Structure 1
Amino acid sequence: MNRITKKFQELQCKNKKAFIGYLTAGDPNIEKTEEFVYALEKGGTDIIELGIPFSDPLADGPVIQDAGLRALTAGVTVDKIMDLVRDIRKNTEIPLLFLVYYNTILIYGKEKFIRTCEKIGIDGLIIPDLPLEERDELEEIMDYEKICLIPLVAPTSKDRIRKIIDGCNGFVYCVSSLGVTGGKSDFYSDIQSYLQDVKENSSLPIAVGFGISCRDDIKRLEDHVDGVIVGSAIVREIKRSKGDVIVLKEYIESLTK
């Protein structure tokens, strides 16, 4: 069973919500990213997203954009990130996702990218700029038992929600606002109704992200979802603490405990 699916099943049996944490791979460098993964896991993170830096990240706010720029400036490449995951997999079985823009996959080579992800132990892909209408060209080379294709839905998806979710697996990533990542908890005004609508259109677990930055945000949303996703706040804390893994672990504990 895919690690993501297994993790959600385990948590649901315990009546717990998944905490999904995001890291920009290569910020400030590859070696520190590996340390951050273990710090997140020790702090109580259930699933980890590794963002592959991209020059034009349309879904990312300034915090993650800056982190991606720092990583690219430090010389991170897709191959180095693949090697990073190989090393991580020697020490942990925590579910790992790539958040990756589709152009990166095209340049790397679709078949090569998917097969490499399978070999190194990536459990899922979140591709924010992959249109529903173009998804089939990637779906035909994916083995969904090995890698989940995580669908993204937004408050504006409405009548397209069922179509977006259809054929995907793992969980549904529900965007909580109409902006980019890293907003100040400016959630969609009718967010509870929107999340309920997503639930009614899918049998998959649903997780909400964008703008979640504190324990109060999590408490506000966790009764309506199966998991919460925190990204920019973690990246911001890493920069603030100058990459101190002990401080990072304690920060994650403040969100998960």
Structure 2
Amino acid sequence: MNDMTQALKHKNAFIGFTVAGYPDFEKSAKYIVDMANAGADLIEVGIAFSDPSADGPTIMNADQKVLAKGTTTEDVFRLMTEVRKHTNVPLVFLTYTNPVFKYGYEKFLSKMKSLNIQGIIMPDMPLEEQEVFLNIAQQYGRAFIQLVTLQSGNRLAKIVSHASGFIYVVSSLGITGSQNELSNEADKIVTSIKELTDIPVAVGFGITTYDQAKLFSSADAIIVGSALVRIIEEHPDDATTYLTEFIQKMKGARNATNQND
């Protein structure tokens, strides 16, 4: 986990997201590497799921197209094997409990370790039901990344106590995707978290523009998902230049913000 923690300790980090296998196996592997080359400090790789409760229409559409091809969890690990031939960028999975449970917690985490995938996010696993998975994740040295929402309230300290790798602060109510207004309450939550832990804090959900990337100056990183998936959706065969330009622009916004702090 040291690589991931160090990558997010610079106050201007950028975390990108993409769906494994979208738009196809070869392009998916290439675009993950392209994102790393463009300056993404960490990349979340989504494992397509039939009922992605936290995801908006752009990511859901990508999930459905990947699942329609019959893509399996084993295919995702095969994709990660290909990616690891070309980049050592820190990687984490974003998925849901059912695919990991069906594959087997220990088998899944062991495979993650062998591919140096440093952490996992599972938005639908309640805090009260995490003990078994959390213990196995610790045995394999994998981070179980916790989500904090605008409604976490008095549960904040307990969530933070379970956290490793980084803490994911959800900047808006609802699902992922474009948001015209992001809540400034997220920045207050970041400050509260930093009073409890030294673990890096990243803010995501709905960040799509340069101006939005300049918000949340107290966070160590921003997370962008739907905007990147939309670029791939619009340019499935030649997304490299568009991904690179977008990531470099968003990184520039973060650098400008923190130079002004």
Q: Give the TM-score normalised by the residue count of structure 2.
A: 0.91
- Indicate which of 221, 229, 239 corresponds to 1:227: 221
- Indicate which of 52, 55, 68 corresponds to 1:73: 68
Instruction: Verify: 1:124 aligned to 2:114, yes or no.
Output: no
More divergent stretch after superposition (68-77 vs 21-30): 68-77
Amino acid at match of 2:185: D
Kindly provide the CA deviation profile for residues 97-125 of structure 1, in whole angstroms up to 9, marking residues without a partner as x.
Answer: 00010111111111111111111211110
Q: List gaps (5 residues or longer) in structure 2.
A: 253-261
Closer, same or farther in 2 for the Cα pair 1:90/1:172, shift >3 Å?
same
More divergent stretch after superposition (149-158 vs 184-193): 184-193
- Indicate which of 235, 253, 256 corresponds to 2:251: 256
- In 1, the alpha carbon distance for the partners of 2:139 and 2:167 equals 15
- The residue aligned with 1:112 is 107
The question of whether the paired residues in 1 share the 8 Å contact of 2:145 and 2:168 is answered with: yes
**How far has the Cα of 1:91 moved from its partner?**
1.7
- In 2, the alpha carbon distance for the partners of 1:79 and 1:129 equals 21
**Counterparts in 2 of 1:48-67, with a 5 A limit?**
48-67=43-62
Amino acid at match of 2:197: S
- In 2, the alpha carbon distance for the partners of 1:180 and 1:173 equals 14
Aligned to 1:156, the other structure's residue is in SS state coil
Amino acid at match of 1:224: S
Amino acid at match of 1:240: E
The question of whether the paired residues in 2 share the 8 Å contact of 1:23 and 1:51 is answered with: yes
- In 1, the alpha carbon distance for the partners of 2:198 and 2:243 equals 34
Percent of residue pairs identical: 39
More divergent stretch after superposition (195-204 vs 50-59): 195-204
The question of whether the paired residues in 2 share the 8 Å contact of 1:23 and 1:49 is answered with: yes
Aligned to 2:215, the other structure's residue is in SS state helix
**Counterparts in 2 of 1:1-257, with a 5 A limit?**
2-9=2-9, 11=10, 16-143=11-138, 146-188=141-183, 190-221=185-216, 223-244=217-238, 245-257=240-252
